[in-house]
Amino acid sequence: MTGSAPERRAYAAPLRAVDRTEVLSEGPGTRLVLYKTVNPEDPYMEGHFPGLTLLPAVFVLEALRQAVTDLGGADEPLNLLEVRSGRWLAPMQSGDEIRLDVTVTPDGPGRLRVTADGVRQDGTPVAAVKATLGDRDAVLAATPPEGLAPPAPGGTPGPDYTGVLGLLPVRHPMLMVDRVESLDPGRRITVAKAVSGSEPCYGRMADGLPLSRYMYPRSLMLESFGQASVLLWLSTGTAEGVPVAAAFRDCRFFGEVRPGAVLRHESRIDRLMANNVFVSGRTWDGDRCVMTVGALVGSSRPRERVDRAMTAPA
């Protein structure tokens, strides 16, 4: 007996980020509930904190995109236009069922404003997000601020690839830093990430899809920027324990990124405070600015605060 054929995807996505959806009300203020159980067998999860399965914060954003896309039933998927704010309040570990209570309201032609609050099955709050999603016309209409210039070549090189492996708590396929082009320790970093058509986000896509469906997921762009920022933070010698994303603010996206692109992340430290770091920056595809990050807040937490298995009664 043969099993059923694997589900074919209609657009690039890192994983199936929603297990089920319940629509509570429809109209100008659509309300829905999403559920996702953290599964270590999902694509990308094996390489995210090996030995400590944690759902990446950016996959909550991916869940919102997928659920609202399915709700609208449009031919083209929706994409993130802006993350106005995102707070990650507690770890989401293997086996946790995450519930997201979501409200969707129109925000102009082709744009939808989304708010979401997430809790674990034990009632612990895990996420609070305010984002804007848009259709392809809204994606193509978004333009970066004027006067931005891509990072200049050169500078002091940072760690090589094996050095990066020794610093970041991620592995293939979740490792999204290919090369550190320059590093000014404690101040700024420029990192390159090649977008390959062989990445898991392009796996199981149906044949015959238009090029627009191969747009690189913006959740993964944010994850890659975050990893660059962790490398910069580690250069200060102040990060101890498990580095995790605590918040995003004012993240905006422009244009489309597809296989063959080489992303260059510029991240700079704006403030260090106790076990937290505040960074901002930009991401480029050649001379096109494709993302600006107003603020990413990283938090360094003792492993026992992240891994509940360490504090569970025997």
Q: Give the model confidence (pLDDT) of 222-274 as tens digits.
A: 999 999 999 999 999 877 778 889 999 999 999 999 999 999 999 999 999 88
What is the domain extent for residue 93?
A: 20-142+155-310
Query: Is 149 inside any structural domain?
Result: no
Query: Is 204 inside any structural domain?
Result: yes
Tell me the C-alpha distance between 270 and 296, whole Å. Answer: 10
Backbone angles phi and psi of 183, in degrees to 5: -145, 120
**Comparing C-alpha atoms, which of 272, 175, 219, 276 is closest to residue 86?**
219
Residue 314: which pLDDT band, with cuts at 50, 70 and 90?
very low
Q: Where are the beta strands (DSSP E) in 108-241?
A: 111-119, 125-134, 179-184, 188-194
What single letter denotes the amino acid at residue 240? E
Residue-level pLDDT at 143: 96
- What are the start-end ranges of the H helices in the chain? 58-72, 136-141, 161-167, 218-234, 303-306
Residue-level pLDDT at 5: 53
Query: Is 148 inside any structural domain?
Result: no
pLDDT in tens, 20-61: 999 999 888 899 999 999 999 999 999 988 888 899 999 999
Query: Is 10 inside any structural domain?
Result: no
Give the total number of structural domains in the chain: 1
Residue-level pLDDT at 1: 40
**Comparing C-alpha atoms, which of 144, 152, 131 is closest to residue 79?**
131
Query: Is 99 inside any structural domain?
Result: yes
Tell me the C-alpha distance between 258 and 197, whole Å. Answer: 8
Residue 71 sits in a domain whose CATH number is 3.10.129.110
Query: Is 12 inside any structural domain?
Result: no
**Residues 238 and 232: beta-carbon distance below 8 Å:** no
3-state secondary structure (DSSP) of residue 84: strand
- Burial classification of residue 34, based on how many CB atoms lie within 10 Å of its CB (0-12 exposed, 13-18 middle, 19 or more buried): buried
Q: What secondary structure does DSSP assign to 137-150, as a single string?
A: HHHHH--PPTT--P
Query: Is 13 inside any structural domain?
Result: no
pLDDT higher than threshold 70 for residue 312: no
If you ran DSSP here, which 8-state letter would residue 200 be given?
G
Query: Is 32 inside any structural domain?
Result: yes
